Structure 1
Amino acid sequence: MASELVPLTGIRLPTMGEMFASRVRDSRSISADQALVHMIKVMMGTGMLSLPLAFKHSGIWLGMILLAIICAICIYCTRQLVYGQHYITFIKREQRMDYANVMRNAVELGPSWIRGHGYLFKQLVNVNMFVAQFGFCCVYFVFMADNLKQFFDQTSNIHLSQATWIALLMIPITALCTIRELKALAPLAACANAVYLIAVTIVLADLFSDWYPWTSLPAFGAVESLPLFFGTVMFAFEGVAVVLPIENQMNEPIHFITPNGVLNTSCILVLLLYMTVGFFGFLRYGNDIKDTLTLNLPQTPFYQAIKIMFVLCILVSYPLQFYVPMERVEKWIKRKVVENKQEPLIYAIRFGGVLLTCAMAQLIPHLALFISLVGSVAGTSLTLVFPPLIELLCCYSKQQLTPWVWLRNIGLMLFALVGFSTGTYASIVQIIEAFGQSDV
């Protein structure tokens, strides 16, 4: 049967051309250029604006080094995930597979003692993905509401509470979340990227306007503050869960994974931007840097308008992040629900998801810090734990478990353990400090 797993032990292994063969075009297909637009957009979120604060914790030069290292590790782990997906889909004679099912099938290719736990690992991925993606969506609500409130408070007679702005934002967000195809979001994402680049260019111009003396800023931060750096950076790299949904809709998947393909190109471009914002943001504002760069911008009408540009860009990022959990829900509905009831239920769940993230943003104090904690836990698992495990299981099925394969993947998972513990620690420390300040 086409769906049966047939390990390739003892026969010729598939070539790159076979594993990454062209897909049959359909109404959902996207080109490499459209995939690049989506990848850049999902990785250029609110976390980037907090990188100068991360550099404050690490020191200006150590921050540059660690940021590059973490990005390289994230790229490598993402490539593991993509290779694992195409190896498994080649075995199963399928064209596409989501993250959770890649994990499940990899486990079912593993040793006999783990093969029966594929469904458990699939749900483990799903839980982490839902937590991470809904967490990011909640942060977007708070980020947009805070910037809108500050803009109108300082430039007009409109003085609305943060809760009111969150409620008003539900209207455009709900409308955007009725779009169920990534291809339909491509024009919006392209426009948002253009606006975002303009806003970032203006912010960079401000960063280059004046600097603290180089000698007044630490080159290397204190060891005890490095966990805060790691937590902030891991939150910035928030696009891993969207990688397979984007790659799965490409006409020519080989263009995603080549050395100059979509994945490497998008990650390197984003890394260069991250380095610039983090380095020069800290050099511009020094130890006075706040949680996000928008809070440090000059209080003039021009720079206040920049906040609106960022809000519009994040508004488009919301449905892109929202797409991942909703794709899983829609697949479940199409399997379990009769056809004439599928569409109403899908839209009802989409509206319910927007309402849930809105309610969380309304009810939970210091939400951004809680979401940073969630991102450190779920984001670290999705990016740094599951992909090395998938590679180990796929190599087992190919009888290629060499000492080097073991060494690099165990090393990556140990790094993930450090990232989990330090990121969690960093978030908890910030939460305790925030509650302490609010009680004064």
Structure 2
Amino acid sequence: MTGATDYETELSLLLQRRQPRTSFTEESLASNTETTINLIKTCMGTGCLALPFACQQGGIVLFLIGLFVVGAWNVYSVHRLVQCLSYLPKSRQSSDITSNTTRTNSAQESQLPPEGIALMSQVAWIAFGSLGVQVLDGLMMILFFGVITAYYCAVLTFLGDTPFSLGRIGDGFLTLIILTVLSLVPHVGALKYASAFGMIALFLTFGVIFFYGLSGHNEKGTTLNMWPSSIDGLSQWFGVIVFGFGIVPMTYNYRSSMQRPQDIVQVTVHAMFGTACSYVFIGWGLYALFPSLQGDALSELPRHGVFPIATRLAMVTVVLMTAPFLIVPCAELLEGKWQHVGRLCTRLTICGISCTLAILFPHFVQALSLVGSTCVAAVSFCVPALLHWQLTREYSEQEYRHLAKVDMLMFMLGIVLTMISTYVLLT
């Protein structure tokens, strides 16, 4: 498989650990098919439990169309990030062996970003300088905290429906301790088996939910929504769907792990189409079985009985095992800036802030839709278009002027949708 296989979870989209291609052998790199599967696995995580709610809130028509539109938007963003690489200056090694004079080498040297930063940060540095890197780091930090909070809220929601709950505050404190301990691992590769366990538990969970729905444990005679009933429902739909396709920040990571990195856009097309088709089955299918659901699909199971309780506990375990995939890189980002802060302090602070925020949210779905609308949408839809626009806007050729116009249009669309949906969900 790939060198990135250790990070194949629904949360790995946020990892920006720089992986030079020279560290991989040809056999260790992923084929196009393997990368397609890995991308689909990245998308399909615990957030899938909110898809039926998104279908209910957005209506069946918009849900079906929107899945493929948002998938296509992710393809566009990946394509723009790949195109940005062509505007990066040559490396110091390349410039040293050219036949040009020292004047050319020194000019290239002045354009090079700092060594050791992630490829996305290099692009931001070329586009906007050191300020661009700082802004990108800030956006990624917000994204980290947002998704960590959403999954804290998932633990509180799932555990709260079992006899083992200690109350929302008690559950939050227990989760804080467990995740702080788990996040003290030296690197996220130490938790690589969480991915396989998470996928198995997720498939079994959907099997249990579908079984209860088909067995008549749902309400009958409820009319299915074909269109959004309100602007709030539209915003809920948008946030959940965007959250479910968040692969854009991992573009360079997956590209560097491929045998044929030039095929990353084509692979993304296949992965987004496969993900959208899977989401149609999950979202529409479970909404038809549970038309009156008020939150995630797991909340529709009975609160008593061996299978419902075991299913909820399994999902709690999945979240507890996968959340460190976010906490560790988030802590490393902070520790890189504040080197005097110890590992325990940073991880405890991250877990404490996220836990406090999670307690304030009434339900997992509300937290997830807000994070999708605010954090994931900004990084996935606004950042790639803005970076590419900045890198191409000074070119005089007609083709580049056209690309710059398209980028600015997509950037403005992303900003408008992000601001409107965030405002609606917060009010």
Confirm or deny that 1:195 pairs with 2:201.
yes
How many residues are matched?
380
The 2-side partners of 1:235 and 1:293 are apart by 16
Matching residue of 1:415:
413
The 1-side partners of 2:287 and 2:410 are apart by 30
Confirm or deny that 1:141 pairs with 2:146.
no
- Aligned CA distance change for structure 1 residues 190 and 30 (closer, same or farther; 3 Å): farther
Matching residue of 1:64:
64
* Corresponding residue SS for 1:217: coil
Structure 1, residues 328-376: CA drift from partner, whole Å, max 9, x if none? Answer: 234435xxx5xxx7xx7244323332233223334x3537546643542
Matching residue of 1:402:
400
Confirm or deny that 1:100 pairs with 2:133.
no
- Aligned CA distance change for structure 1 residues 105 and 396 (closer, same or farther; 3 Å): same
Matching residue of 2:100:
none
- Quick check: 1:42–1:317 contact (8 Å CA) kept in 2? no
Matching residue of 1:73:
73
The 2-side partners of 1:180 and 1:40 are apart by 27
Query: Between the two proteins, what is the percent identity of the paired residues?
Result: 20
- Quick check: 1:58–1:220 contact (8 Å CA) kept in 2? yes
- Aligned CA distance change for structure 1 residues 131 and 221 (closer, same or farther; 3 Å): same
The 2-side partners of 1:134 and 1:319 are apart by 12
* Corresponding residue SS for 1:106: helix
Give the superposition deviation at 1:126. 1.7
Confirm or deny that 1:247 pairs with 2:254.
yes
Matching residue of 1:165:
171
Give the superposition deviation at 1:399. 6.0
The 1-side partners of 2:38 and 2:190 are apart by 12
Name which of 361, 366, 380 aligns with 2:362.
366
Matching residue of 1:231:
239
Matching residue of 1:285:
290
Give the superposition deviation at 1:39. 4.5
Q: Give the partner amino acid of 2:121.
A: A
Give the superposition deviation at 1:251. 6.6
Confirm or deny that 1:219 pairs with 2:226.
yes
Give the superposition deviation at 1:387. 0.1
The 2-side partners of 1:306 and 1:54 are apart by 22
- Quick check: 1:212–1:283 contact (8 Å CA) kept in 2? no
The 2-side partners of 1:324 and 1:306 are apart by 29
Q: Give the partner amino acid of 2:321.
A: V
RMSD of equivalent CA atoms: 3.6
Structure 1 window deviating more from structure 2 (321-330 vs 382-391): it is 321-330
* Corresponding residue SS for 1:151: coil
Give the superposition deviation at 1:290. 1.3
The 2-side partners of 1:82 and 1:121 are apart by 18
- Aligned CA distance change for structure 1 residues 328 and 251 (closer, same or farther; 3 Å): farther
Q: Give the partner amino acid of 1:72.
A: A
Name which of 159, 170, 181 aligns with 2:187.
181
Q: What is the correspondence of 1:418-437 to structure 2 with a 5 Å cutoff?
A: 418-429=416-427
Give the superposition deviation at 1:259. 1.9
Structure 1 window deviating more from structure 2 (81-90 vs 420-429): it is 81-90
Structure 1 window deviating more from structure 2 (232-241 vs 373-382): it is 232-241
Structure 1, residues 260-314: CA drift from partner, whole Å, max 9, x if none? Answer: 3xx445444432332222111221111x111111111234321232112222222
Give the superposition deviation at 1:119. 2.2
- Quick check: 1:235–1:375 contact (8 Å CA) kept in 2? yes
Q: Give the partner amino acid of 1:232.
A: V
Q: Give the partner amino acid of 2:243.
A: F
The 2-side partners of 1:215 and 1:163 are apart by 35
* Corresponding residue SS for 1:216: coil
Q: Structure 1: which 5+ runs fail to align?
A: 1-20, 108-117, 153-157, 430-440
Q: Give the partner amino acid of 2:264.
A: I
Give the superposition deviation at 1:386. 1.0
Give the superposition deviation at 1:65. 0.6
Confirm or deny that 1:131 pairs with 2:128.
no
The 1-side partners of 2:190 and 2:207 are apart by 27
Matching residue of 1:10:
none
* Corresponding residue SS for 1:259: helix
Q: Give the partner amino acid of 2:421.
A: G
- Aligned CA distance change for structure 1 residues 98 and 406 (closer, same or farther; 3 Å): closer
Give the superposition deviation at 1:214. 9.9
Give the superposition deviation at 1:102. 2.2
The 1-side partners of 2:262 and 2:196 are apart by 19
Matching residue of 1:155:
none
TM-score (norm 1): 0.74
Q: What is the correspondence of 1:83-122 to structure 2 with a 5 Å cutoff?
A: 83-85=83-85, 87-88=87-88, 97-107=118-128, 118-122=129-133
Q: Give the partner amino acid of 1:105.
A: I
Structure 1, residues 22-54: CA drift from partner, whole Å, max 9, x if none? Answer: 811179x97438877764554334432222122
- Quick check: 2:165–2:171 contact (8 Å CA) kept in 1? no
Confirm or deny that 1:388 pairs with 2:392.
no
- Aligned CA distance change for structure 1 residues 205 and 371 (closer, same or farther; 3 Å): closer
Matching residue of 1:332:
337
* Corresponding residue SS for 2:226: coil
Matching residue of 2:321:
316
The 1-side partners of 2:257 and 2:185 are apart by 19
Structure 1 window deviating more from structure 2 (403-412 vs 274-283): it is 403-412
- Quick check: 1:52–1:293 contact (8 Å CA) kept in 2? yes
Q: Structure 2: which 5+ runs fail to align?
A: 1-18, 94-114
